[in-house]
Amino acid sequence: MRLGWIAIVVAGCGGDAGSDVVGPFTGTTQRFVVDDLTLAVDATMAMAIAADLDGNGTRENHFGTITGLLASVGDLSIHGRDMIASGALASTVELVADDPTDDDSVGVTYFGADGAAATVAGGVLVSGSFRSNRTATTRVPGQAELHLPVFTNADPLRLTLDGLELDLEPDGRGGYDAILRGGLAQQAARDAAYAGLRQMFATEPQRHQTFLRGVDTDRDGVMSPAELDASVIAFLVTADIQLFDGARYAPRGRDATPDSVSLAIGFHLTPCAAGRCSAAAPEDGCRDRVRDGDETDVDCGGSCQPCAGGLACLVPADCQTAACANNVCPAPSCSDALRDGFESDRDCGGPCPGCADGRQCIDDGDCANGNCADGACGAAAATSR
């Protein structure tokens, strides 16, 4: 995959795109399925696939910076392939061309899922390599609805990509190594990120306690819009490029007022006339974002992790709260004699009353005496460890 990216990046550094390629597009429609998705896990990887998306002479991929930071703290999903195998991620690309090798008028459309909204982008095929109109210079921008696995143990985020820019490099097997670029409207990107964050916290509350404390500042167990807007996620999901002048698509590199988050991702395409053309099964059925196996809800219950409050169950063991009422897991409480929800210890800390000395804590606010040291409440507990 990375060798393909190198070829694409080199091919994509040859100056301005020139005049837009526009439809109507004629020829045969080739359909491909996305069978692998790669999000940047560090800054080097993010910049390897970045490009100048607003014409300011600087390569941008702020989305890659965000996923890299999530990866560094273990919060980036690593189960994209499982989601593709299960069908939870089912993205396709359609290429319309008279000649599959050399054609100066080619249309390409990226569908995040069957029936998802999308707008065709024009481009050219040269010696089998495809290059679409550029985000920074086009006046007939392509658009796509992306479905991307970002937060661990959460559904793929749905994100609208503006100014779609797509590069395809033949893989020698009838498919393509690909790079997709463009911009995400800042508020829409934040709203999607907030939904993913809430789901990640609810799915594995104990795993994300420190992160949670930085968001749920009033410690009520609810991430309010105001708290999310003041959180590190809002700080990270911040526009770095300008793609619009009001409602008009008009990228601007100088004296810009950023409105979009730059994005570049890598993926692989395999030819497939219909369906998914693969019988591969998920390696981890508890992380594939569909309800399968003996799960009582999506990726939880049965032999998978316990389900959060409000999800389906059959027996108490299916639930984080170790209770199942009318086939629904109850919400955690501060009096169920369990450490559940966002508590730091059993029925205390987080949204519950402060913990007594010696009980577990994440920060000072978890403790009745306001002192958390070495993960335990109370100075005496801290010095004894």
List pLDDT tens digits, range 189-224: 999 999 999 999 999 999 999 899 999 999 999 999
* pLDDT tens digits for range 118-132: 999 999 999 999 999
Would you state the structure tokens that stand for residue 382, as one six-digit string?
């801290």
Strands 248-252 and 376-377: unpaired
Query: 340: helix, coil or strand?
Result: coil
Q: Which two tokens stand for residue 340?
A: 């559940």
pLDDT digits (tens, 9 = 90+) for 306-323: 999 999 999 999 999 999
List residues bridging with 151 in a β-sheet.
76
Cβ proximity of 269 and 175 under 8 Å? yes
Quick check: pTM over 0.75? yes
pLDDT score of 324: 97
Query: Dihedral of the CA atoms 322, 325, 331, 335 (nearest 10)?
Result: -60
Give dist(CA 160, CA 113) in Å, integer.
12
Res. 332 pLDDT band, cuts 50 70 90: very high
Q: What is the pLDDT of residue 213?
A: 92
Residue 271's φ and ψ, nearest 5 degrees, are -60, 140
Distance separating alpha carbons of residues 103 and 97, to the nearest angstrom: 7
Burial 100-118 (b: 16+ CB within 10 A, else e): beebebbbbbbbbbeebeb
The shares of helix, strand and coil residues in the chain, as percent rounded to the nearest 5, are 25, 30, 50
pLDDT single digits (tens) 242-297: 999 999 999 998 999 999 999 999 999 999 999 999 888 999 999 999 999 999 99
Task: Please enumerate in sequence order all residues whose Cβ is within 8 A of that of 65, keeping only pairs 6 or more positions apart, or say none.
Answer: 40, 43, 46, 236
Q: Which of 378, 43, 372, 382 is nearest to 209 (CA)?
A: 372
Please determine, for residue 4, whether its predicted confidence score (pLDDT) is greater than 60.
no
